[in-house]
């Protein structure tokens, strides 16, 4: 997925076991979808906590947040509970969502990437950095602010 592409309607199971549809999340407004390689690791914790810490700013521009990794429901639930994220974490164990977004690696964990989606599912921004953890939330927020102008 690249800027200007429209994502298909996808679904996944979150850390509570509930099925989430992308179309349902987008019905509420723009959405930031961030992929992280593995829950409970240093980098993924830093990245996810930065999204959590900026949640009010994302809400202020009308955007929702959702994190996705290939970890199972139980690990996602433990990760969310430990850090009080307040946004869903999808357990993409078959990595079909990662594949649809183009972040699935043939071997190893998925790529770390963030996508800012308009309410109609068009990619407004694609942010990639394996090591600059705060960059994902910061640039996603800036993309949303720019789109609102």
* Residues that are catalytic: 44
Buried b vs exposed e over 67-90: b needs ≥16 C-beta within 10 Å?
Answer: bbbbbebebbbebbeeeebebbbb
Phi, psi of 65 (to 5 degrees): -125, 145
Per DSSP bridges, beta strands 31-35 and 64-69 are parallel
- Report the distance separating Cα 123 and Cα 2, nearest Å: 6
């Amino acid at each position: 997925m690249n800027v200007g592409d429209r994502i298909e309607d996808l679904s996944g199971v979150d850390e509570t076991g509930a099925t989430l549809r992308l179309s349902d999340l987008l019905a509420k407004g723009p959405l930031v979808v961030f992929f992280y390689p593995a829950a409970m690791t240093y980098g993924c914790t830093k990245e996810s906590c930065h999204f959590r810490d900026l949640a009010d700013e994302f809400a202020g521009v009308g955007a929702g947040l959702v994190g996705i990794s290939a970890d199972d429901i139980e690990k996602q639930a433990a990760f969310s509970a430990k850090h009080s994220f307040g946004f869903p974490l999808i357990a993409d164990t078959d990595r079909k969502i990662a594949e649809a977004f183009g972040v699935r690696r043939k071997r190893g964990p998925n790529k770390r990437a963030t996508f800012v989606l308009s309410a109609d599912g068009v990619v407004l921004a694609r942010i990639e950095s394996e090591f600059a953890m705060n960059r994902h939330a910061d640039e996603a927020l800036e993309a949303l602010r720019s789109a609102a102008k």
